[in-house]
Chains A and B, each alone.
Chain A
Amino acid sequence: MQPTNRSSRILLPVKLWFVYLSLLVALGLEYIPTGRVPGIPDWVALVLAIWCVREPQRIGMGAGFVLGLLVDVGQGAAMGQHALAYVVLAYLANGAARRVLWFPLALQAIHFLPLFLFIQVLMLVVRLLAGAEFPGWSYFLSSLSSTVLWAPLSMLLLLPQYQPVDRDDNRPI
């Protein structure tokens, strides 16, 4: 775990079951039928990117691939569409992990806006090549809302790691 420039706080090691649970919850959120409301964040991409940055040794392209397939099945999208997007996202997020963690959360989010947009464009190109219609520019609002949620969701997901193992009021961290 690298320290960020804002906080030199040392976090507890992450619990792997919590990572998987959060990804599962994200998958559930992704399945909520919202119809054609624009700007629904891509929950799985968001949580996956957060863990790819925080735990690049554990969460990577394999997780992205499996989650992508599950999203494809649940949404009735083309098989492999989200899998492709999430694999690419995981690769880029793993690669960016060492750099991005030096920035405060708000700036981290700005790093990831082009990434989210890129995977959306990737999915768009795949589907347009297969003969689908263009869904309109509001399709890209989803990346913006994902970016806005980056900081609060990162805080939330790191919350368990802020807890001390045994409570000691005299300890500095």
Chain B
Amino acid sequence: MSLVGHQPPPIFKRGLAPIARLSVFVAVCLVLLVADLRFRYLEVMRNALSVVTYPLQMAAATPADFVRNASRYFATLVEVQLENADLRRQRLTSGERLLRFELLEQENAQLRELLGMSRRVGVESIAADILYNAPDPFARKVILDRGAQQGVEAGLAVVDAKGVVGQVTRVHPVQSEVTLLTDRNQSIPVSVVRNGVRGVLFGTGRGRLEMRFVLADADIREGDQLVTSGLDGIFVPGLPVAQVTGVDRVSDAFARIDCEPLAAIETSVQVLVIGRTAYPPPPAPDPKER
């Protein structure tokens, strides 16, 4: 190796010149970047390298854990009592709704059976805590304290008490990475509760969401509730996602639809990871046709 700007005498073999080494390394980096950002080829390499980095990461997370637990420990008694009372009230109301829900679910199953429709796919959920924001400043991602060992898989939906927060995009052994809905590269298929109009919701990166590629004359109004449509085969249908806050039809062939997420995307702490227990089966053949 030679120093930059100092030509070594030719009698000493010192390897490639620095500028050549730089070019080689930069070329390799650019190839890696394109392979990762454009084609997502490098997950295997990432997993292999994470074997090296994982112990170090665990060690580094310890002080953060300590600070988190300490701040929780010193929460005052009054705060805890207030929170407890609030939670009791919430549990009462949600318990009442749950009773009706179970009744309706049974009724729904019976009706579907009467109509000869396939049964709704079961849903499984895993409770998780959000540990911290992912350190990458260019994306809106958070790290959960549940990973592959607890059954989290890439692609599952993550919800809080009010609605969808994001999607699991990368799974480590005991942690997983969730891309929030507000990330610029995150999208989610939705439908309007009022009339079933379908569309795709994109993050804008500024804490807002935008529904794109909806024709200007589509029947969408301010205040409409958007839920997941489940057409992607990944998200469970019917999870509340967002509320329409503004519709602008003058600009283009497509309407500009601004939405506000229902979930406390940037502030929620406890979340559920929700997945289908199986992919929806193909529609059952009609017995009368045979």
- Which A residues are closer than 8 A to B by beta carbons? 24, 27-36, 56-57, 60-62, 64-65, 68-70, 73-81, 83-84, 87-88, 91, 94-95, 97-98, 124, 126-127, 130-133, 135, 139
Contact = CB atoms under 8 A, between A and B. Distances in A.
Contact of B136 (A27, A28, A77): A77
Contact of B57 (A74, A84, A139): A74
Contacts of B131: 33
Interface stretch (B45-53, B247-255, B280-288): B45-53
Contacts of A30: 60
Nearest to B139: A132
Contacts of A27: 53, 56
Contacts, number: 147
A77 B138 contact: yes
A61 B16 CA distance: 12
B30 interface: yes
Contact of B22 (A31, A73, A88): A88
Nearest to B3: A56
Interface in B30-64: 30-33, 35-38, 42, 45-46, 49-50, 52-53, 56-57, 59-61, 63-64
A69 B52 CA distance: 11
A interface secondary structure, majority = helix
Contact of A34 (B33, B42, B135, B183): B135
Contact of B60 (A29, A80, A84): A29
Nearest to B14: A57
Interface string B1-44: 10111100000000000100110011011111101111000100
B1 A33 contact: no
A3 B177 CA distance: 48
Given A32-B61, A135-B138, A73 B36 contact: no
Given A31-B57, A35-B133, A130-B37, A61 B138 contact: no
